[in-house]
Amino acid sequence: DVKVTQSSRYLVKRTGEKVFLECVQDMDHENMFWYRQDPGLGLRLIYFSYDVKMKEKGDIPEGYSVSREKKERFSLILESASTNQTSMYLCASSFNREKINEQFFGPGTRLTVL
């Protein structure tokens, strides 16, 4: 089974702090994604990556950055956390960009910014 793990299930940070969310997948997937999930808004894509050191902006990249130094790891960085970044963050991976594969999701990190 594909396993996507996220470093924390719950996280509480203060406004202005730099926040790192880590995601690791164990199936050699090329593609990795970061979403945020908010009630009534579904999932919104923040950033994605289809290769090591490659990244593409999603629909809501402002206030976020990402890093993919190794194939299995995709990190989401909140440079200076703000209260409107309080949300559930979901990481996902999929096989490769040429094939239409489903995404495999991690359990999520619920981030609260005070």
Partner 1 sequence: AQSVAQPEDQVNVAEGNPLTVKCTYSVSGNPYLFWYVQYPNRGLQFLLKYITGDNLVKGSYGFEAEFNKSQTSFHLKKPSALVSDSALYFCAVREVNTGGFKTIFGAGTRLFVKA
Residues binding partner 1 (CB under 8 A): 4, 35, 40-45, 48, 50, 56, 58-59, 90, 92, 97, 100, 102-108
Nearer to partner 1, 45 or 77 (CB): 45
Place of tokens 């990244």: 55
Nearer to partner 1, 19 or 92 (CB): 92
DSSP per residue, 38-81: ETTTEEEEEEEESSTT--EE-S--TTEEEEEEETTEEEEEESS-
Nearer to partner 1, 41 or 114 (CB): 41
